[in-house]
Structure 1
Amino acid sequence: MPRSPDRATPSRLPLRLSVAAAALIAAGYALTLAIFYPGVMTYDAKFVYGDIGKSVLGDWQSPVMTVLWGLIDPIAPGAASLFLLIVTSYWLGFALLTFTLAYRSSRLALLVPLLALAPPAFVLVGILWRDVLFASIWLVAATTVFAAAGCRARFRLPVQALALVLCALGVLLRPNALIAAPVLAAYLLWPAQLSLKRSAILFVPAVAGLFALVQLVYYNALGATRQHPLHSIIVFDLGGISHFSQHNQFPVTWNAAEQALLLNGCYQPTQWDIYWRIEPCEFVMRKLEREEKLFGTPAMADAWVRAVMNYPVAYLRHRTAFMWNFLAGDNLVMWLADVERPTEMVFADRPAFVALVGLHDRLKATPLFRTGSWLLACLVVCAVSWRRRETAEGAFAIGVCGSAAVYVMTFLVIGVASDFRYGYWAVLAALAGGSVVMLGPPRPRTG
């Protein structure tokens, strides 16, 4: 791929390097298929797949993911179709980064495919979660533009347009990426250098435009039924504020046993599911949703506003406790249960998968599987890259890692579960951005 003269790179790659890099990528892709095919189905994925072909789509999971899965399903019906999309996106992103870096460093080019096999990234690539698909798609968007950054406009501009579509698709898959998307979009628009002024000017219009896009696609184009996923945040917050304030904040009255559980027995800064489907505290959602029919009504939002206004310290304690658990807790990483036989482990008869699970188990207690480690890694990459922000390499590193840092930090306000997968974009961003940071400054041509 041609590069601009100021990048001080050769016009073509040595054949041996190209073959070696391609072989590593192909081997990584084949290994992924050998270990995970046809993909690990999760309950979330099963719910989405069950909506394919229905006349009514819901917005609890992304209706865009349902439609996308339905479009590709004939390729390999069931889990395999989505699995192949995720795996292909994942390895395409790392392949683009590999061959782009190869123009500057053969060692880095051969290192990147190995980084793609790093356990914090690799153990999730075969698990069917939209967080994994979202992160892989954003990786492709960023690396595609990075690869084309030094090319002529007639080639670069269509690539940038495609990357912006992929960025928007990521938001449609994960609407909570709304605040982080403008950071990535700024890089996709101006890959040659980072401009704080242009990025700041872009931010508010981009957030507004992406928010409007979600509304138009979800409810106008796809006709999705409103299932009020944002009210899961409200329920979690009201439960947390009730616990820390020792006063019921829900717009309902509980009996004495329920009140005692609500204030002292139910709350954990881990997940809102405690109030939804986990005994003995599922009585909360049963009353809100089925008995009083308040879930999804303005009464819930009004109760949330009153609770935050009256007990701001309790709200902050709850949100801080959740965020600390999300960043530093020993949270769920791999999904291992067979959704058809929940008491059994999926792929238990596959030695390669079992070996990967064993590696995951040995490393799970280490910082490698703490979201906070990858948030810190992204912040370090941004800091190291700051002096090089006016180069394509610095802009890429800050674009991917800056967007990942913002994405992870939004969970301080909107997080309702603390699984490691929710920080997966930070893992991929840190690996990609960190690889580029390892490049030294371009050397001028001699002779």
Structure 2
Amino acid sequence: MSIEPASRITQRHIAIAAAALCIASLALFWPGTAMYDTVAQYRQVLSGVYDDWHPPAMARVWALLAPLGPGATPMLVVQLATYWLGLGLIAAALAQIGRARSATAILAIGLLPPFLGWQGVVLKDAQLAGALLAAIGIIGWWRLGRRPLPGAMRVLVALLLVYAVLVRANAVFIVVPLVIALASRPTHPLAKLVTGFVAVVLVLGVAPVVNHQILRAQHSGVEATQALYDLAGIAARAPDSDTTGLTRSETATVIARRCAKPFFWDPLGDEAHCGTTMTRLRALPTATLYVTLASAALHHPIAYAGHRLAHLNSTDRWLVPFHWPSAAPPAASEPNTLGLANPRVGGRAWEALTAVVVETPLGWPIAWIVVAITALAASLSRPRDPVRDLATALLVSALALEASFAVLSIASDLRYHLWPMIATAVATVLLADRLPPRRIFAVGAGTLLLVAGSGIAARVLLPQPPQTYAGMLG
């Protein structure tokens, strides 16, 4: 039974509000903020020469839309329109079934500074969030109303999910769990797990073919970065090892120059820092690098685990100093000569607000992980219904991506966690019509307080890190 009172808020009110919020967001962030990655992609759009360091699918879409507007504006429209479309459809579906407060809360989620702030930056992470929200909104509109999804909408959802998979390399760990969780078959959890594993492997095998053969992107060597990062991390913790692929001299340099940083892999790719040290390894075939990594991890599991856990703590922003970098969206575009302009005063003011909010637990992925686990336990304790199914799928996709970071992640930017945070917020609102079991709530709330308390203590006690990219490189 719902705990929400009846309300006069209708789908029409929600539609008007979502449209108004979309227009206001476009006005706020116009013409879109461009980061370093954005500039690199736009340069490919202008030149017609693409590589796979950045998603060629996004650059190709940008090239198609470029005649519609200058610079980043077409992609800003795409990501904000899909963002508010998805949230608006979910909110309208909730209003349709009499859950007006939850409908309003869904729209309020879209206004949370860490979410909307990053959505104003023209970037693959914002494109991913927009595509996924639009797909979930379409599914939710029909499923929450207990109606079958029309064939045309199935095609649209499929296109959005395919774009999501291609627009970020690790999106496979979002999309496949999401689809498997929503699918009616298989029904047994173990069968779903096996099906999901097979599907992930297939997508990982097909995606490079699409990028290189269909989208005609050149190889950039990006696929080797994970192996290089982990091998350097193991070598720094097991300097006497002969299994990391690094020579004793290279290992000594990695340690002396502090090349293996929990925060990100970048020093290993920067020629002025450690790039030359890794030149010999970068020249090896990618398959050889990963075979070497597997051997090194097996021979030095403690060193590998220490390296990965240090990075996981960094990217989850748990026991880190105050002002851990790369949390807030940039307030200005990366300097460029391509015509990618800066946002207006309102956009810069919003990003200044976001910079404050991301220092609170609202900007800590670890806090959202605790909420997601608690919400998933509460969801699975409910009887099956469309609300439970949609919320469970969102939470499974969020936690699957977060789990993948334990072994597949090389940087600590908050934007990489944008979808898990948004999905958890939406799922929590979906489940808010019923009180969770007391034990689940108590354990979840207690864990969240422990995580938040220890995180605050770390921020008080640890020295503040450098606040520039060059400073973090060392």
Class of the TM-score when normalised by the shorter of the 2 chains: 0.7 to 0.9
Contact in 2 for aligned 1:167/1:184 (Cα 8 Å): no
| Residue of 255, 258, 261 corresponding to 1:263 | 255
Counterpart of 1:409 in structure 2: which amino acid? A
Counterpart of 1:26 in structure 2: which amino acid? A
User: In the alignment, is residue 234 of structure 1 matched against residue 227 of structure 2?
Assistant: yes
The 1-side partners of 2:253 and 2:330 are apart by 29
CA deviation vs aligned residue, 1:68-125 (integer Å, no higher than 9, x gap): 1111222223211111111111101110011001022122222221221012211111
Which residue in 2 is equivalent to 1:175? 169
326-335 vs 266-275, which deviates more? Answer: 326-335
Determine helix, strand or coil for the equivalent of 2:45: coil
Contact in 2 for aligned 1:194/1:389 (Cα 8 Å): no
Question: 1:27-46 counterparts in 2 under 5 A?
Answer: 27-46=20-39
Counterpart of 1:381 in structure 2: which amino acid? A
Which residue in 2 is equivalent to 1:436? 430
Contact in 1 for aligned 2:234/2:244 (Cα 8 Å): no
Question: 1:334-345 counterparts in 2 under 5 A?
Answer: 334-340=329-335
Would the alpha carbon gap of residues 341 and 203 (structure 1) be closer, same or farther in structure 2, given more than 3 Å must change? closer
Determine helix, strand or coil for the equivalent of 1:180: helix
Which residue in 1 is equivalent to 2:442? none
Counterpart of 1:306 in structure 2: which amino acid? S
Structure 1 residue 130 displacement after superposition: 0.5
Counterpart of 1:405 in structure 2: which amino acid? L
The 2-side partners of 1:347 and 1:53 are apart by 19
Structure 1 residue 347 displacement after superposition: 4.3
Which residue in 2 is equivalent to 1:400? 394
Contact in 2 for aligned 1:245/1:314 (Cα 8 Å): yes
Which residue in 1 is equivalent to 2:310? 321
The 2-side partners of 1:180 and 1:18 are apart by 29
User: In the alignment, is residue 387 of structure 1 matched against residue 381 of structure 2?
Assistant: yes
Determine helix, strand or coil for the equivalent of 2:260: coil
Which residue in 1 is equivalent to 2:440? none
Contact in 2 for aligned 1:98/1:109 (Cα 8 Å): yes
Would the alpha carbon gap of residues 32 and 307 (structure 1) be closer, same or farther in structure 2, given more than 3 Å must change? same
User: In the alignment, is residue 422 of structure 1 matched against residue 416 of structure 2?
Assistant: yes
Structure 1 residue 213 displacement after superposition: 3.3
Structure 1 residue 212 displacement after superposition: 4.0
Counterpart of 2:254 in structure 1: which amino acid? L
Would the alpha carbon gap of residues 179 and 358 (structure 1) be closer, same or farther in structure 2, given more than 3 Å must change? closer
Number of equivalenced pairs: 420
Which residue in 1 is equivalent to 2:299? 310
CA deviation vs aligned residue, 1:132-154 (integer Å, no higher than 9, x gap): 2112211211221111114554x
Would the alpha carbon gap of residues 247 and 61 (structure 1) be closer, same or farther in structure 2, given more than 3 Å must change? farther
Would the alpha carbon gap of residues 201 and 325 (structure 1) be closer, same or farther in structure 2, given more than 3 Å must change? closer
The 2-side partners of 1:197 and 1:297 are apart by 32
- Root-mean-square deviation (CA, aligned residues, Å) is 3.0
Would the alpha carbon gap of residues 180 and 110 (structure 1) be closer, same or farther in structure 2, given more than 3 Å must change? closer
| Residue of 10, 29, 39 corresponding to 1:17 | 10
User: In the alignment, is residue 368 of structure 1 matched against residue 362 of structure 2?
Assistant: yes
User: In the alignment, is residue 163 of structure 1 matched against residue 152 of structure 2?
Assistant: no
Which residues of structure 2 form unaligned runs of 5+? 436-474
CA deviation vs aligned residue, 1:239-280 (integer Å, no higher than 9, x gap): 11111112476645475xx65441243221011101112743
Counterpart of 2:29 in structure 1: which amino acid? F
Structure 1 residue 372 displacement after superposition: 1.2
| Residue of 121, 134, 137 corresponding to 2:128 | 134
The 1-side partners of 2:251 and 2:293 are apart by 18
Determine helix, strand or coil for the equivalent of 1:438: helix
Contact in 2 for aligned 1:182/1:202 (Cα 8 Å): no
Which residue in 1 is equivalent to 2:458? none
Would the alpha carbon gap of residues 389 and 135 (structure 1) be closer, same or farther in structure 2, given more than 3 Å must change? farther
| Residue of 58, 71, 74 corresponding to 2:67 | 74
Which residue in 1 is equivalent to 2:94? 101
144-153 vs 124-133, which deviates more? Answer: 144-153
Would the alpha carbon gap of residues 140 and 418 (structure 1) be closer, same or farther in structure 2, given more than 3 Å must change? same
16-25 vs 44-53, which deviates more? Answer: 16-25
Which residue in 2 is equivalent to 1:444? none
Structure 1 residue 52 displacement after superposition: 2.1
The 2-side partners of 1:299 and 1:210 are apart by 22
Counterpart of 1:225 in structure 2: which amino acid? Q
Would the alpha carbon gap of residues 275 and 388 (structure 1) be closer, same or farther in structure 2, given more than 3 Å must change? same
The 2-side partners of 1:168 and 1:195 are apart by 26
Counterpart of 1:262 in structure 2: which amino acid? V
Contact in 2 for aligned 1:100/1:147 (Cα 8 Å): yes
CA deviation vs aligned residue, 1:421-441 (integer Å, no higher than 9, x gap): 111111110121111111249
Which residues of structure 1 form unaligned runs of 5+? 1-5, 8-12, 442-447
The 2-side partners of 1:407 and 1:423 are apart by 8
Would the alpha carbon gap of residues 208 and 254 (structure 1) be closer, same or farther in structure 2, given more than 3 Å must change? closer
Would the alpha carbon gap of residues 358 and 335 (structure 1) be closer, same or farther in structure 2, given more than 3 Å must change? closer
The 1-side partners of 2:379 and 2:184 are apart by 16
User: In the alignment, is residue 124 of structure 1 matched against residue 113 of structure 2?
Assistant: no
Determine helix, strand or coil for the equivalent of 1:40: coil
| Residue of 216, 236, 243 corresponding to 1:243 | 236
The 2-side partners of 1:280 and 1:195 are apart by 51
Structure 1 residue 19 displacement after superposition: 4.5
Structure-2-length-normalised TM-score: 0.80
321-330 vs 23-32, which deviates more? Answer: 23-32
The 2-side partners of 1:287 and 1:32 are apart by 48
Contact in 2 for aligned 1:145/1:156 (Cα 8 Å): no
Structure-1-length-normalised TM-score: 0.85
CA deviation vs aligned residue, 1:46-85 (integer Å, no higher than 9, x gap): 2122222655432221111111111122222321111111
Question: 1:38-57 counterparts in 2 under 5 A?
Answer: 38-52=31-45, 54=47, 56-57=49-50
21-30 vs 103-112, which deviates more? Answer: 21-30
The 2-side partners of 1:131 and 1:202 are apart by 26
Q: Identity percentage over the alignment? A: 24
Which residue in 1 is equivalent to 2:472? none
The 2-side partners of 1:166 and 1:209 are apart by 19
Would the alpha carbon gap of residues 322 and 93 (structure 1) be closer, same or farther in structure 2, given more than 3 Å must change? same
Contact in 2 for aligned 1:90/1:136 (Cα 8 Å): yes
Determine helix, strand or coil for the equivalent of 1:128: coil
Would the alpha carbon gap of residues 210 and 267 (structure 1) be closer, same or farther in structure 2, given more than 3 Å must change? closer
